[in-house]
Structures are given as C-alpha cells and as structure tokens.
Amino acid sequence: MSDIVLGVGASHSTLMNTDWDKVDRLDGAHRFRNGLERARDRLAAAAPDAVVIIGSNHFRGFFLDMMPAITIGVGEVLGAGEAGTPGGPLPADTGLARHLLTSLVGYGFDPAFSLRLTVDHGITHSLQHLLPALDVPIVPVVINMFAPPLPSLRRCHDLGAAIARAVAVDGAGKRVAVIASGGLSHRLPWPKWFDTLSDDDRFLVEAWLNGRGSWGDYEVRRRQIIRAAEPDINPSFDRDFLKLVEQGDLGPVLERSSADIDAAAGNGAQEIRSWIAMLAALGPGARGETLAYAAIPQWLTGMGVAVVEPPTTKETA
C-alpha cells in the first residue's frame, strides 16, 4: 500500500508573478510568500514519491465546448505557461493516475480523463512555488469550479476520501502528498456563461467557448479585465475556513451551496473545493497548521497557505 504523508493548501494568483513590485512593500505579501517557502520545505522533508494536486482551470485547458466536473490527467501533462507559470511538459505519475481513475469509477465516481492534459495556474502556480524543481511526478485532478453547475462541496469531500482509499490499496508502496491549489475569498469579474450583461461578459464567454487551441489570442484583454476589477475579499470567511482546516473538520461548510459561497466570499472562493478534497484525503483525525494568511487587494484574493499532517504522522512523532 501507499501512504499519504502530507497535505498542503495554498492560494494562487498570477499577479504574484507579474506584479510583485507593486506589493513588495506589503507585509502581507511577504508573509504569504514566506508561508509558501515554509510549506515548500515541509513538503521536501516529507519526501513524497508522487504528488496528487487538486485545483481548478481558468479556461486555458478546459472550455465551454466540453466541461467535465472532474478530470484526471493520466498521460502527458502540459503547463499552459501563462503569466510566468511553468509551461510545457510536467512530470507525471501515469501509473498512479490510472489507478486513481479506475478506483474512482469503482467507488461510484465518473471522472473524465485526458492523455494530454493542459493545466494552467490553477495547478502550476502551486507547483512553481512548492515544487520549484518540478522533480516529483504529479497526478493532476482538475475540478470544475468556475462554470456552473459545480460539483457540491460534499461531493468534493467524498472525492478526497475516495482518493485516499485508492492510494491506500495501490500496492506501490509510495509516499504521496496531496496539494490543494486555489481560494480563498475573491471575486473575479467573470460572468456566468448563461447570463452575460456587458461587452466584457460576452467577450469572456466567447473566449471560454472558442479558446481551445487559441486561448492566448484572448489573453491580453482577459488580463486587462482582471486588472480593472475591484477587490472583494472576506477575511472573516477565510479565517473561519482556515480554523476548520486546523481542526481537521470541514463539516460546517459541506452543506453550503455554491450560491451561498459566492455571496459570502466571491466566485473565486468556489476553489475551496480543492482544500476540502485535500483535507478529506488526509483522513479523520488530520490536523492543519496555518502558515500564513493575508488579504491582498492588489491580488484580489485572501491568500492562505496551510499544511495538514495525517494522524499517523502525528502519532509516530
């Protein structure tokens, strides 16, 4: 059997890569970056043989012509490379990926799979900062978090538990880490695909529908729209959520609807699904430690990073 040895949850923002000079004076930005570095070191100390990374895709690898709820990369994994994030081939553990795919189907899930999966900063930003050498093979699990209807929070929790179950019976004797990429509270200036109100809305939906193979053609205006957005961050929501991560119990949020999360913490907070799945994969009794949190308006996002230890690791320690 294989063991899950560590979980990491980390917010992402490509503005951290492209606009660092605008936040270099802010204690919060340095606090978050230092937290990422501490998580990087904890991950290196855990010495994983493979990393399951759970995140979103921002319409650079998935588009409205086909939007699965859950997708596993079982072959080539390619970084989109936008905004200074890793581009091109990424190391992939195809054996573990195929095992997860088959197991999840057996456990009542219906994930899509890809033999040539393009992932954007919803996956690669965390890899860039937590595994900077890109020297550990990954299994990307991409959850639809931006094109409603979205899988429920409860379903994402069950997905994480099923991933843990599959890892435990894979027979490979690997040390596996689980990274959750995304969140916390933030609101992107993105419309619902069925409810466009402005020229920018219609442009974005056109990009999301027709961008397969040409998403870069839409990138300049996309970035302009995002940079013009007003920040909408809810630190209370973020701190409450991180406290639940520390306690290892996300029960209080699992029955909340997507509409409720949107109203409380913005459409970008739908990415807490990755954290929920990660914590479930660490199992009952897991406990988290928040390494950093800062609300950073320049990045539009409540930026958090935490590590989660499985109960067996703490007992051994």
Whether the CB-CB separation of 2 and 170 falls below 8 Å is answered with yes
Q: What is the 3-state secondary structure (H, E, C) of 126-178?
A: HHHHHCCCCCCCEEEEEECCCCCCCCCHHHHHHHHHHHHHHHHCCCCCCEEEE
Assign 65 to helix, strand or coil.
coil
Strand-pairing partners, residue 130, are none
State which H helix or E strand residue 54 sits in: strand 50-55
Given the residues 12, 125, 129, 186, select the one marked as catalytic: 186
Instruction: Please answer whether residues 238 and 185 qualify as being in contact, where contact means their C-beta atoms are separated by less than 8 angstroms.
Output: yes
The secondary structure element, H or E, covering residue 73 is: strand 70-80
Tell whether the torsion through CA atoms of 192, 194, 198 and 200 is positive or negative: positive
- 121 is an active site residue: yes
What is the chain's alpha carbon radius of gyration, rounded to the nearest angstrom? 18
Question: Rounded distance, CA 242 to CA 235, Å?
Answer: 10
Return the closest-CA partner of residue 53 out of 146, 181, 235, 182. 181
Residues paired with residue 305 on neighbouring β-strands, in sequence order: 10, 292
Structural contact between residues 127 and 134, judged by C-beta atoms closer than 8 angstroms? yes
Q: Does residue 173 contact residue 49 with C-beta atoms inside 8 Å?
A: no
- The 8-class DSSP code of residue 304 comes to E
Which one-letter DSSP state was computed for residue 119? Answer: E
Given the residues 12, 121, 129, 157, the one annotated as active site: 121
Q: Catalytic site residue 157? A: no
Q: Which residues does the annotation mark as catalytic?
A: 121, 186
